[in-house]
A and B are shown apart, each in its own frame.
Chain A
């Protein structure tokens, strides 16, 4: 490849990673909050406890802002396969295309169709219909997760197809969708979204409690988030472990890179490298601190079998070990912290000190971004570890590019970076502003709905998040 093409290739990858990395932050919170809102509305309908209704209205505003950003960044993604990876689109379009089509048909329309009613229809439709709208939006987010992960997992562990005339032709759709890594990835990702949301909700509540802004909705939020952490974080560790075993079977080079494991000594079990600096040039992991045998124990669940070593793969087939070694450890580290947080919360709960322990509230507040950090680190591990393949073992990423010249790619990348940071940065500031306002007791009562009479009352997804002009000004002023 000449330098022009190399630069273009590099820029196309950066651009894809940048746009998808931004996008996934919003869906993760969308997926988690949508389910949270369903639970809140159901609890409100069932028990009539006001804290639930107040929380519903509070979090639905944040949901609205976040959803809007998920949509606009997602529309960009849907076109990138063609603009940046046209040869991939030609090769694999017959498989990933229909999966994306199903996602649009079964998920995106469902979300978009019921979102208006969910956010603006509280008094325009009856209680049952409104609950239905919330449930449909949430169902849409989960269906969306299903299809996009089927597509991504097929690229990781392709099966159910044949290559005819230079393109992939599906022969067994069930095999395509339920490919070997799909169940693990789906479970791991859905749980990741729930955990990321639990961290975010919990941190928001902790922040308020630390400022002695203590009321029923806030306590309920903290309690629900911590139940999530204590139950689901350990499950995530188990699912992640199973996922790793599955990867060992289908993508051994990825595991070798994750472990920074270069050579196997014949007849000896493999150690586990705890920390170190994998060096791709020198073909070794510098400064490694190892625990003998542990690698074999964790990954093969035996004391004798060896795990794959990077040097047994030709250099051009090795993923970048430096990156995935660290991104993987970052993810697992966050997972361990979440488990700790859950257990600590449980202990405090039993002692009746969950809402008052300063140390714990401090910790929970700073765990706010932990879920998103783990989630991004996880994706980096998965995607970088798949390199140099775009469809594992079938099509190399270098062969997937578009003929677009480097100059144009550079230009558009610069545009994306500037626009994303400016616009989504502003959006995140708006979200944090809402978070700071905090759920108010009786908030739900004031949602009078029913049409006319309120200037500035927006009727947009995001604009549902607006502080309603006059009615709320008092309380928000008091906050400031």
Chain B
């Protein structure tokens, strides 16, 4: 058996999207939490915790897009044209979020609140739209003759919309636990309280999605609940439950780093659950990774680069996080 390049590419793209969800997840989450904090200085601190790394975080989204384009052009063209409106809305949300980050510190005092609103609104819209895209994707996109064959408003259904809300909870939880790690004092105490509530919300959301998907999709139900799969996959929900308990414990005992780590694990588990449900499709319900693969010449060419360069990227990204390590305090800049 030769090496399956298509599979390796699927793993790389899944990894890229995962990195995106985690990294941009916490900085979008900070945008979502902005409206619960009124104090100007505390808002500055919140922003400053992600400021030097924000751009790198978003680049993972670009990698996801470009990787899909290069390795699975069919998936890129079908998914992007099927989900046109939510994606455009997401991009516009990201623009508002991005420039607000930036213009906020440049604006006159009087206009500052406008950029705060742009920051909150942009994060909200982008997150919700990403959730809708995810939900519509899980629900499946019909494909005929290498093109999307459904309606252009098919994503406007309860499940995708619910996924939009679910992602809001997940990102907010990531953001809150990140801030626990990077801040102190009143702001941190506020984040502890919020995290506790968000932990419950997130649990409820995960349970709902995990029930809803198999109920709505017989194939997914079959994947999970037939033997012996049930045995193989049961660690996933068990681990989610364990993580939840551990998170409550860590929050109660005022741990600073653990809540964030545990949230990362929960997101990772949810993500693997999704992969189990959808495998081996890249456009559910019917197009598999291999059906959508680019010609092997294309995949091999970019794979060489990806395998060689990704380690370097991880190293200098880590270095940049390291340079800006530690707590951020009121009045701190990174200069």
Q: Is the CB of B335 within 8 A of A122?
A: yes
What is the bound-complex CA distance between A104 and B317, given in angstroms?
14
- A-side binding surface: helix, strand, loop or mixed? helix
B41 at interface (Cβ–Cβ under 8 A)?
Answer: yes
Q: Which of A164-172, A256-264, A385-393 contacts B (4 or more CB under 8 A)?
A: A164-172
Interface residues of B in 46-74 (CB under 8 A from A): 47-48, 51-56, 58-59, 61-63, 65-71, 73-74
B279 at interface (Cβ–Cβ under 8 A)?
Answer: no
* CB-defined contacts of B96 to chain A, threshold 8 Å: 419, 423
B102 at interface (Cβ–Cβ under 8 A)?
Answer: yes
Q: Which 5 A-B pairs have the closest CB atoms?
A: A93-B73, A462-B102, A82-B80, A457-B333, A97-B70
Q: Is the CB of B79 within 8 A of A106?
A: no
Q: Is the CB of B99 within 8 A of A68?
A: yes
Interface residues of B in 181-195 (CB under 8 A from A): none
* CB-defined contacts of B329 to chain A, threshold 8 Å: 452
B38 at interface (Cβ–Cβ under 8 A)?
Answer: no
Q: Is the CB of A78 within 8 A of B62?
A: yes
Q: Is the CB of B310 within 8 A of A71?
A: no
**Contact among A64, A98, A124, A419 with B92 in the assembled complex (CB-CB below 8 Å):** A419
Contact status of A103 and B66, CB under 8 A, knowing A71-B98, A97-B76, A456-B44: yes
Give per-residue flags for B286-322: 1 if the beta carbon is below 8 A from chain A beta carbons, else 0. 0000000011011101100110011001001101100
Which partner residue on chain A sits nearest B320 by CB separation? A116
Contact status of A125 and B101, CB under 8 A, knowing A105-B309, A402-B84: no
Query: Total A-B residue pairs with C-beta atoms closer than 8 Å?
Result: 303
Q: Is the CB of A78 within 8 A of B106?
A: no
Give per-residue flags for A107-145: 1 if the beta carbon is below 8 A from chain B beta carbons, else 0. 011111111110111111100000000000000000000
* CB-defined contacts of A459 to chain B, threshold 8 Å: 47-48, 51-52, 324, 332-335
Which partner residue on chain B sits nearest A409 by CB separation? B84
* CB-defined contacts of A81 to chain B, threshold 8 Å: 69, 76, 80
What is the bound-complex CA distance between A415 and B86, given in angstroms?
13
What is the bound-complex CA distance between A404 and B310, given in angstroms?
35
* CB-defined contacts of B61 to chain A, threshold 8 Å: 75
Q: Number of residues in B with C-beta < 8 Å to the partner?
A: 76
Q: Is the CB of B313 within 8 A of A113?
A: yes
Q: Is the CB of B95 within 8 A of A101?
A: no
What is the bound-complex CA distance between A451 and B326, given in angstroms?
11
Q: Is the CB of B147 within 8 A of A87?
A: yes
Q: Which of A32-40, A272-280, A316-324, A442-450 contacts B (4 or more CB under 8 A)?
A: A442-450
Chain B min CB distance to A29 (Å): 16
Q: Number of residues in A with C-beta < 8 Å to the partner?
A: 92
Contact status of A98 and B55, CB under 8 A, knowing A75-B62, A124-B334, A463-B106: no
A352 at interface (Cβ–Cβ under 8 A)?
Answer: no
**Contact among A98, A112, A113, A462 with B99 in the assembled complex (CB-CB below 8 Å):** A462
* CB-defined contacts of A379 to chain B, threshold 8 Å: none
Q: Is the CB of B44 within 8 A of A419?
A: no
Pairs across A and B, CB under 8 Å, 27 listed? A64-B102, A71-B58, A72-B98, A76-B91, A79-B65, A82-B65, A82-B77, A86-B148, A93-B77, A94-B298, A101-B306, A108-B59, A108-B63, A109-B317, A112-B58, A116-B56, A116-B324, A173-B297, A173-B301, A404-B152, A408-B84, A426-B99, A452-B329, A452-B333, A458-B333, A461-B54, A462-B105
Give per-residue flags for B88-129: 1 if the beta carbon is below 8 A from chain A beta carbons, else 0. 100110111011011111100000000000000000000000
Chain B min CB distance to A427 (Å): 6
What is the bound-complex CA distance between A278 and B146, given in angstroms?
40
* CB-defined contacts of A101 to chain B, threshold 8 Å: 63, 66-67, 69-71, 302, 305-306
Contact status of A93 and B67, CB under 8 A, knowing A105-B310, A113-B320: no
Q: Is the CB of A86 within 8 A of B298?
A: no
What is the bound-complex CA distance between A113 and B103, given in angstroms?
21
Chain B min CB distance to A14 (Å): 15
Interface residues of B in 4-50 (CB under 8 A from A): 41, 44, 47-48
Chain B min CB distance to A344 (Å): 36
Chain A min CB distance to B121 (Å): 12
* CB-defined contacts of A411 to chain B, threshold 8 Å: 85
A100 at interface (Cβ–Cβ under 8 A)?
Answer: yes
What is the bound-complex CA distance between A116 and B55, given in angstroms?
9
Q: Is the CB of A120 within 8 A of B335?
A: yes
